[in-house]
Copies of this chain bind each other. A is one copy, B any other.
Amino acid sequence: MSERVWTAALLIIGDEILSGRTQDRNLAVLARWLNTQGIRLREARAVADDMEAIGAAVNALRAAYDYVFTTGGIGPTHDDITVDAVAAALGLGVSHHPRAVEILTGYYGAELTDARLRMARTPDGAELIENARTGAPGIRLGNLFILAGVPSIVQSMLDALEGKLEGGQPMLSRAVGAWTAESRVADLLRRVEKSHDGLAIGSYPFWRDGRTGANFVLRSVDEAVLCRASDELKAALCAMGLEPVDGEI
């Protein structure tokens, strides 16, 4: 039985990412969140605060994946151009969303300036994504989700989307670690992967206190496959006399 696999892409928007000033933390969080929704993150891109770069990436990703998420560029300042870039890429107009204006009025009261009102601008036809953290909402346009850049606000928006996206089976994973150079067990890993349908094994080396170790991450949508394969791998590592790693490093 081969179930439909739902796919997603993330577009990270912001000069601060590509200058190295800011370390993105949203990719990993979104990846894990999507997996619990039964959706696979298949690609991520990072582009600068540039209308054309954003637009080209949004259109390329929309054509290739079921869902597209963007992070960054929806604040009140001049460098926040995501809404305009996405609208231009989709051939949509931009206007103040009545419900977003209402939310921001509730949040800022008399201090709702023009700059703050910028955060109520959406491409035409948009729905809002609630942001319990700082008021200013995210934006949903069908299967395109425009989120903030600040990680705590992204988390708040993902909370609001929880369970609302159609997905399939989550990818399950199990890590098996051993104190060994991964190159010593390369043949074993390949053999275990090949002998179980739908199993993928990733090998990730690490060095700690002068010793070499590796984590082998087994991935499958089928818990039984995962269980059998990880038992098989553990037994084989044990038979080679390799010390297991306690917990995942």
Using a CB–CB cutoff of 8 Å, the interface residues on chain A facing chain B are 12, 14-25, 27-32, 35, 40-49, 53, 75-80, 113-116, 118-119, 150, 152, 171, 173, 182-184, 186-187, 189-190, 193, 200-207, 217, 219
Copy number in the complex reads 2
Q: Which of A35, A115, A193 has the most CB of B within 10 A?
A: A115
| Majority secondary structure of chain A interface residues (helix, strand, loop or mixed) | mixed
Additional pairs, 17, CB under 8 Å, beyond known A17-B28, A23-B27, A79-B202: A16-B204, A17-B27, A19-B217, A20-B29, A20-B30, A20-B35, A21-B173, A23-B25, A27-B46, A42-B48, A44-B46, A78-B186, A78-B193, A78-B203, A113-B186, A115-B186, A116-B183
Residue contact A18 to B42, C-beta cutoff 8 Å: yes
Residue contact A204 to B32, C-beta cutoff 8 Å: no
Q: Which of A152, A173, A202 has the most CB of B within 10 A?
A: A202
Residue contact A44 to B18, C-beta cutoff 8 Å: yes
Give me 28 A-to-B residue pairs in the complex whose CB atoms sit less than 8 angstroms apart, sorted by A's number.
Answer: A14-B202, A15-B200, A15-B202, A15-B219, A16-B204, A19-B32, A19-B35, A19-B219, A20-B30, A20-B31, A20-B41, A23-B25, A24-B24, A42-B48, A42-B53, A43-B53, A75-B203, A75-B205, A76-B183, A77-B186, A77-B190, A77-B203, A78-B189, A78-B203, A113-B183, A115-B183, A115-B187, A118-B186
